[in-house]
Amino acid sequence: MKAVQFTEHGDRSVITYDDYPEPDVGRNEVLIDVKAGALNHLDIWTRRGLPGIDPEMPHVPGSDAAGVVLETGPDVTRFDEGDRVALSAGVGCGRCEFCRDGDESMCVRYRIIGEHLPGVHAERAAVPEDNLIPVPDDVDWEIAGSATLVFQTAWRMLVDRADLEAGETVLVLGASGGVGHAAVQIAAHAGAEVFAAASTDEKLQYADDCGADHLINYETQNFAGAIRELTGKRGVDVVVDHVGEATYDDSLKSLAKGGRLVTCGATTGPNPPAGLNRIFWNQLSVIGSTMATPGQADDVLSLVWDGTFEPRIREVLPMSRTARAHELLENREGFGKVVVKPDSEF
């Protein structure tokens, strides 16, 4: 079969779409005929080889995909041949206190398919049945293959970790990206007043279409100053920040007294100045979050499947053009998700 892969870390030139061994199906695994999958920024970090991300080579990336069940292992009970499924990429150990309590995303040995483990951007992939979610017949493959990671991440950030309530105010940074545009939709659905920040007016128009109430171009204005002006110097209750060093200080400045900054990543760097004086004086909370529990993933994806939430797709490419897909993300071209499909699906 064909698969996206790389044999060493590096720039986009290390990516190939080439022959790869057929996957072996374990006792609790399901073999999927992959129809579509989406890229995430973690695909870029994995390719570059950041500390702590050292998968076995050659490595197949991809933490988002959907397809049809071709075969099931002898211990599989939830799926049958012909079922439509989507991947939920987080893998817990199943033994630690967090896994026993049902929160695998807190697992001390947590790993992600496509990042630490072989991914699913291939013609076929073997996946543990616990990492699969049923997909209704009327959901397009591009939607099913691009929704799971960003929507479950944004849902856990806002609904679980930040405990967002109706009537609160939320600033979403990077509102044109995968997690960002999911967060805008989820916050609006929760009854919050949503402030969306992005780098171009075109991207902000997409954020407006997703339900944002206020739009801030952070290339032409300081977003913390804009928030103070728009809120009468109060600030917002919650900031969604997955950008990191470049935005962290202004994110703290954007918060109201007792506000919460929730983060799931740091695309511009993980080590900003702590800002402890602002944190303790304004009694702020800085909250980390990653992925979601199976129950949280089911909750948010049911709202994707019924059309309440919509993954916005900027481009669909054959897997042989995955390097171009990486380029779109790295250069921040466009709005929403970049989807890749096996060349045989074109």
Residue 343 burial (10 A CB sphere; 0-12, 13-18, 19+): middle
DSSP state, residue 50: -
> Which pLDDT score, from 0 to 100, does residue 134 have?
98
Q: Specify the fold of 152-288.
A: Quinone Oxidoreductase; Chain A, domain 1 (3.90.180)
- Segment 208-232 mean pLDDT: 97
> Which pLDDT score, from 0 to 100, does residue 52 have?
74
**pLDDT 10s digits, 232-281:** 999 999 999 999 899 999 999 999 999 999 999 888 888 999 999 999 99
- Segment 107-133 mean pLDDT: 95
The domains spanning 2-135+312-345 and 152-288 adopt the same CATH topology:
yes
pTM: 0.95
Residues 252 and 260: their CA atoms lie apart, in Å, by: 9
Residue with the bigger pLDDT between 199 and 239: it is 239
Percent of the chain with pLDDT over 90: 91
> Which pLDDT score, from 0 to 100, does residue 104 have?
87
Domain at 2-135+312-345: CATH code: 3.90.180.10
Please report, for the chain, the start and end positions of each structural domain, with discontinuous segments joined by +: 2-135+312-345, 152-288
**pLDDT 10s digits, 311-342:** 999 999 999 999 999 999 999 888 889 999 99
Confidence of residue 183 (pLDDT cuts 50, 70, 90): very high
Residues 45 and 187: their CA atoms lie apart, in Å, by: 27
> Which pLDDT score, from 0 to 100, does residue 269 have?
83
> Which pLDDT score, from 0 to 100, does residue 260 have?
98
Angle CA 231–241–239, to nearest 5: 30
Contacts of 297 (CB under 8 A, 6+ apart): 88, 133, 148, 152, 155
- Segment 211-219 mean pLDDT: 96
> Which pLDDT score, from 0 to 100, does residue 102 have?
86
> Which pLDDT score, from 0 to 100, does residue 154 have?
98
Contact (Cβ atoms closer than 8 angstroms) between residue 80 and residue 72: yes
Is the confidence at residue 288, as pLDDT, over 90? yes
The per-residue pLDDT of the chain, averaged, comes to 95
Is the confidence at residue 346, as pLDDT, over 80? yes
Residue 243: C-alpha distances to residues 53, 68, 137, 319 (Å) = 19, 35, 36, 27
Contact (Cβ atoms closer than 8 angstroms) between residue 120 and residue 339: no
| DSSP bridge partners of 222 | none
